Structure 1
Amino acid sequence: MSTVYLVGAGPGDPGLITVRARDLIERADVLVYDYLANKEFLAWAPDGCEKIYVGKKGGDHTLSQEGINELLVDKALEEEGRVIVRLKGGDPYVFGRGAEEAEELVESGVAFEVVPGVTSAVAGPTYAGIPITHRSFASSVTFVTGHEDPTKDESAHNWKALATSGSTLVFFMGVKNLPNIAASLMEHGMDPQTPAALVHWGTTCRQRSFVSSLDSIAEEAVALGYKAPSLIVVGEVCALKDELDWFEMKPLLGATVAVTRAREQASGLVEKLRELGACTLEFPTIAIQPLEDTSQAEAEIARVFEYQWLVFTSVNGVKQFFNVLDKMDLDARVLAQAKVAAIGPATAQALRCRGVRPDFVPEKYVAEHVVEGMKKLGVKGRRILIPRARVAREVLPEQLSEAGAEVTILPMYDTVLSGNDPEEMTGPLERGEVDYITFTSSSTVENFFTLVDPELLKKHRDGVRLAAIGPVTAETLASFGFTADLQPEDYTIPGLVDALLAAYSA
């Protein structure tokens, strides 16, 4: 029998999803997800997984709740032995209507499990610096749905009990009804000066929040443009926000940074940007493709003892070189007779991770500085092997040859145009959702403009800043008619991040 898993996706921060939830997504045959489930989770699903969006946003329902219930049953009965994941924002049973879905599954004889998730009622206020309980202010907390029709004859809530309980009150889905919620609490005895807060898109890079008083919060929410999804928190604990706020102190919070480097390389940059609070738009323009035929690489490695220098120009070159070594049942000991150069700290670190300490790392991480440094070490008459991409800048081998070295280029991989849908970038550009686009090589620039019309970027240029990792990449941008707004002095990923920090803080 197929099993339906009702899975809590947590409040939005990918780091707050449970290990069990991720495991199930990675095994899913069918993934049914809603509006509040982080889209990043979809990338964890295996190839061939059927992904079905059933989100509900501000009254706009892709599918009714009854329709969702029927869909889950139908998918479970279509075929035996499948994993059907129903991914729900927050926790399935905390105002998530997960119980209704479970009841439908029971009635239809479908096996199911429930995977709890971190509820936004706890996580959202926490990320906004508001503890929902505190020994000095509140010893209890009440979760309340704010999604009531204010025109109906009688509320389902006991407003007097809520107003006089002394509990912290957390209202879900209540922004539209905020004036009615505040008025009802005050009418039933709550002090109008009670601190109250709104937390919008809590735990995500889009989070913002503010604290007001109960009698003013509705008016301020309108003035500040707060909309769903936002939590309402009412209680003395809200007064602690200024003291305990931490997440909204992140220096890149609210900035959207597009990352164009290959997905295999992007993780470090994306992770650092997210740690600093940025929204990241992953739009890899290149893909790394190992060579199917490694016979040339194997032949050169078999006589690597004939070379005095090996020059690695990228992490990919290191990775593919050692993949071939492994295929040949060899290891780093074959490099014992040669000296090794690495362009850039990331390449050097990739070598160290494989037991090889580079003999030379240039101060500036471009080919010209490699040649200058190696000349001082003596390359005339030396045999040099450069494992690299099949197509790359020829400056390094040409200048080393001019310096008297005998240079052999060893193709290890291809950089090819990614299979990305251009809409993944053009859509956000058109909607004004991109603040920075980062380019980490000339090939990322060239492939970006193969996927995205340069005229579209020019149309939105006033709102988008372009960051190039170094002068060569900046020159390639210039060839398309664009000037790099940011360029670090240190041509590295950490240098690029520092340049973004400086620009955004300014």
Structure 2
Amino acid sequence: MTDNRPTVAVFRPDDERLETAVELLESLDVKPIADPMLSVEPTGAQPRTDAAVVIFTSKTGAELVADDWTPGDATVCAIGEPTAEALRANGIEVDVVPETYSSSGLVDALGEQVDGLGVEVARSDHGSDVLLDGLESAGAYVHETVLYRLVRPEEAGESVQLAVDGTLDAALFTSSLTVEHFLAIAGERGQREAVIDGVADAVVGTIGEPTRETASEQGIAVDVVPETAEFEALATEAVDELDR
């Protein structure tokens, strides 16, 4: 039987996040194209224990430290509710979650509270300088610990060929790095312009303004940016756009 459902590419890491994303897209009556553009390589590092403020920027980072790290008297900050929930699930109390789930949103939330304090930022090797620069400008003494590296899986790229063939109906980018890896594969295949032309006819969704900006700078027009930085919102709004 021919599957005539719209094809929607999802680029989440190949773990429970990809499984959950595929299940959600299936429930929305579209055909998921599971094309993980990121793979997580833990470094084994742990956040410092002498900082007054400790910041986690992702659910992945929160899960990696859950069994071996305790905050002591530190103020714990999480960018996004999924990150906060991962910390709480392992008994780590979260003190600050910014209303805007972004680096700039957290800097705004902390404001002058970090002036003169040691701040530990625990995250991936692809974190934005916006957070570090913003904290330093607020007077903090900032230290960064890389908890994991984000690399491109060798098998990634099914969605790239679909875009070239004009059979990709939507693409859901969850970080700037997913955009960069998607286009890097296209470039290595000599198909960059064909891919950009292909996604021009598709619904493109991104989580967050930084991801939208990366896509736009690379020549990809973005149609959907949900107000909340959550995959469910991204998928739902993108499918609604497809229906229109």
TM-score, normalization by structure 2: 0.90
Q: RCO higher in 1 or 2 (8 Å CA, sep ≥ 6)?
A: 2
Given the alignment, which residue of 167, 174, 177 partners 1:440?
A: 174
SS at structure 1 position matched to 2:66:
helix
Aligned match of 1:502 in 223, 240, 243?
240
Match of 2:9, as an amino acid?
Answer: A
Aligned pairs for 1:139-178 (under 5 A) are none
Map of 1:468 onto structure 2: 206
For the residues of structure 1 that align with 2:200 and 2:109, how far apart are their CA atoms?
40
8 Å Cα contact 2:170/2:202 also seen in 1: yes
Tell me, yes or no, if structure 1 residue 361 matches structure 2 residue 97.
Answer: yes
Which structure has the larger Rg? 1
Does 2:146 match 1:415? no
Match of 1:274 in 2: 26
How far did residue 501 of structure 1 move? 3.4
**Count of residues in Structure 1 that have an aligned counterpart in Structure 2:** 239
User: Any idea what SS the aligned residue of 2:162 has?
Assistant: helix
Residues 214-253 of structure 1 mapped to structure 2, 5 A cutoff:
none
**Match of residue 335, structure 1, among 58, 65, 71:** 71
* Equivalent position amino acid for 2:139 in 1: G
Structure 2: distance between partners of 1:470 and 1:312: 17
What is the identity, as a one-letter code, of the residue corresponding to 1:441? S
For residues 142-175 of structure 1, the C-alpha deviation after alignment (integer angstroms, 9 at most, x for no partner) is xxxxxxxxxxxxxxxxxxxxxxxxxxxxxxxxxx
**Kept in 2: contact 1:386–1:410 (CA 8 A):** yes
Displacement of 1:340: 0.8
* Conserved? CA contact 2:173–2:207, under 8 Å: yes
Structure 1 distance, partners of 2:226, 2:73, is 36
Asked whether the equivalents of residues 55 and 76 of structure 2 are also in contact (C-alpha less than 8 Å), the reply is yes
C-alpha distance in structure 1 between counterparts of 2:218 and 2:195, whole Å = 11
C-alpha separation between the residues in 2 aligned to 1:427 and 1:447?
A: 14
1:396 is matched by which residue type in structure 2? L
The 1:397–1:467 alpha-carbon spacing in structure 2 relative to 1, beyond 3 Å, is: same
Which AA in structure 1 matches 2:117? R
Corresponding position of 1:255: 6
Return the TM-score normalized by structure 1: 0.45
Cα deviations across residues 313-334 of structure 1 (Å, max 9, x unaligned)? 00111122235x1xxxxx5xx3
The answer to whether the aligner puts 1:373 opposite 2:109 as a matched pair is: yes
Residue 380 of structure 1 and its aligned partner are, at CA, apart by 0.8
| Closer/same/farther in 2, CA of residues 261 and 421 from structure 1, 3 Å limit | closer
SS at match of 1:482: coil
Q: How big is the alpha-carbon RMSD for the aligned residues of Structure 1 and Structure 2?
A: 1.9
Counterparts of 1:394-405 in structure 2, within 5 Å, are 394-405=129-140
Change (3 A) 1:340 1:430: same
Q: Is the 8 A contact 1:439 1:467 kept in 2?
A: yes
For structure 1, list consecutive stretches of 5 or more residues without a partner in the other structure.
1-199, 208-253, 326-330
The question of whether the paired residues in 2 share the 8 Å contact of 1:468 and 1:486 is answered with: yes
Q: Deviations over 1:111-143 (max 9, x none)?
A: xxxxxxxxxxxxxxxxxxxxxxxxxxxxxxxxx
Q: Which deviates more from structure 2 when the two are superposed, residues 360-369 or residues 459-468?
A: 459-468
Correspondence for 1:283 among 29, 35, 52: 35
- Assess if the C-alpha contact under 8 Å between 2:205 and 2:225 holds in 1: yes
Equivalent position SS for 1:263: coil
Counterparts of 1:383-402 in structure 2, within 5 Å, are 383-402=118-137
